[in-house]
Structure 1
């Protein structure tokens, strides 16, 4: 495999990232929950007050390939804050196209997020994995992540849009 470049995404990458977001959602059997599009990605990630950061994994073109470099994966993250430990980074997604898996690309993305977290003074790097995705759990554990559900009994909760609307009515 050729060298892989892990770099910050640009607005021009949003189409490829959106395609891979849909691929990941389909793999997770949650495609019906994808509500954003390429324009939302551009607005939310590249405006004055961006809501997220994104890394892309790019492979250079083969010799004679007129198409140029190819984006084959991404890592979506943002910063959160803990009242106990201060700055944290939350990894929303890591995705590598199936054809390119098993080549260390996901590991390079995770490593780069950890590097960013340390550069920004973060005390923790957090993420969530669906309970049926054993390969993802094993991957993160092999990198040194601790399963807080098992170790500390934490459960993650979410208010969706409808629940928020009901909450503010009360």
Structure 2
């Protein structure tokens, strides 16, 4: 399937926010989403953004809608590890169910890795629910290691070697 990955713009905010909520539904945690759309827009697309995001879009021939539609997202921000240095934290990676299995998730993840390498990050961290075995296997196949487990969440990381390898696979 044809798809494109690009940085999200303010015009994409509504679609990105909708996908974040879809992810919360997928994880059976929608009730924990308390952030308003206005706060989300301010924090990600305002004067001093607290996060960055990428979107994956497919052309209209793959959908019932007119024009390209956003079907996936990667939302991330930068952190710092006093032992390792610059890091990126992948907060959300989500692809609509009907578009899974088309390498969109891999493309988003690889593109975040490429951005991280460009920003001189040495690792990527993310959390995965204990119940989401498929996603944990997806990350493990990319070289992710579990670094902690708490409250049914696995904190995983990609080290510098696997981050560079993944970045080289970016579309």
Question: TM-score when scaled to structure 1?
Answer: 0.83
Matched residue, 2:60: 61
Distance in 2 (alpha carbons) for counterparts of 1:35 and 1:66: 29
Please identify which structure carries the higher strand content: 2
Q: Cα distance, 1:37 vs. partner?
A: 2.8
Distance in 2 (alpha carbons) for counterparts of 1:149 and 1:24: 22
Matched residue, 1:106: 105
Q: C-alpha offsets along residues 101-122 of structure 1, whole Å, 9 cap, x if unaligned?
A: 0110000000000000100000
Matched residue, 1:144: 143
CA contact (8 A) 2:51 2:77 kept: yes
SS in 2 for 1:127: strand
Q: Which has the larger radius of gyration?
A: 1
- Runs of 5+ unmatched residues, structure 2: 156-171
Distance in 1 (alpha carbons) for counterparts of 2:5 and 2:37: 21
Matched residue, 2:14: 15
CA contact (8 A) 1:55 1:109 kept: yes
- Runs of 5+ unmatched residues, structure 1: 157-170
Distance in 1 (alpha carbons) for counterparts of 2:141 and 2:83: 26
Distance in 2 (alpha carbons) for counterparts of 1:18 and 1:115: 23
Matched residue, 2:82: 83
SS in 1 for 2:74: strand
SS in 2 for 1:118: helix
Matched residue, 1:25: 24
Matched residue, 2:44: 45
CA contact (8 A) 2:95 2:104 kept: yes
Question: TM-score when scaled to structure 2?
Answer: 0.82
Q: For this pair of structures, how many residues does the alignment match? A: 150
- Structure 1 residues 21 and 85: alpha-carbon distance in aligned structure 2, compared to 1, 3 A threshold: same
Q: Cα distance, 1:95 vs. partner?
A: 0.4
Q: Cα distance, 1:40 vs. partner?
A: 1.7
